Amino acid sequence: MKISIYLETSVIGAYLDNGDAFRRDLTIRWWEHELDEYDVFSSPLVERELERVAEPHRTSYLQLHRRLKQLTIDDEVAILAESYIDRGIFHRNFIGDSVHVALAAFHSIDYLVTWNFGHIANVRKQARLLHFNTSAGFHTPKIVSPEMLVHAT
């Protein structure tokens, strides 16, 4: 059985990111050589966020995204995301980040993969998510960057 991963918008965005060559090159290498080792998911939220990107990148991002299996955003996911906000784990201004984590938690995904260290992948947030999800009976995905999943050479 493959490890399940949820790709949040910043991972797809890094694929064509000319502003950070290290992040772009690592993401491309991981995507093209190692992504098939995982059971890969994304969501309609990621697609909506990518649709707001200007061309020339929008079309390429959406093509990458369309190859991924999609998790559904149902009522339970929305309630969990709102619970994260109500408890101060996420600020309301970052409800999308809350939904990304709620999707991965509700669907029992092993890893949420992100380059968003400010709002998603930081140890304080992960500790609060673990505490809340455990108390509420939800799975807590490990939150990592693609760099943490790349095989050592």
Q: What is the pLDDT of residue 152?
A: 62
Q: How far is CA 106 from CA 10, 100, 131, in A?
A: 20, 10, 15
Q: Give residue 9's pLDDT.
A: 97
- Range 117-142 average pLDDT: 95
Task: Give tens-digit pLDDT for 58-116.
Answer: 999 999 999 999 999 999 999 999 999 999 999 999 999 999 999 999 999 999 999 99
Count the domains in the chain. 1
**CATH code at position 132:** 3.40.50.1010
Question: Residue 30 pLDDT > 80, yes or no?
Answer: yes
118 has pLDDT over 70: yes
Q: Write the CA distances from 72 to 44, 52, 99, 143, integer angstroms.
A: 7, 20, 11, 20
At residue 18, the pLDDT reads 85
Range of the domain at 129: 3-149
| Stated pTM of the model | 0.95
8 Å CB contact between 25 and 130 = no
Residue 49 confidence (pLDDT) above 80:
yes
* Sheet-wide strand order for 111-113: 69-70, 38-42, 3-7, 111-113, 142-144
Q: Give the CA angle between residues 84, 108, 36 to the nearest 5°.
A: 120
- pLDDT of 151 higher than 90: no
Whether pLDDT at 153 is above 90: no
Identify the CA nearest to 9 among candidates 116, 119, 125: 116
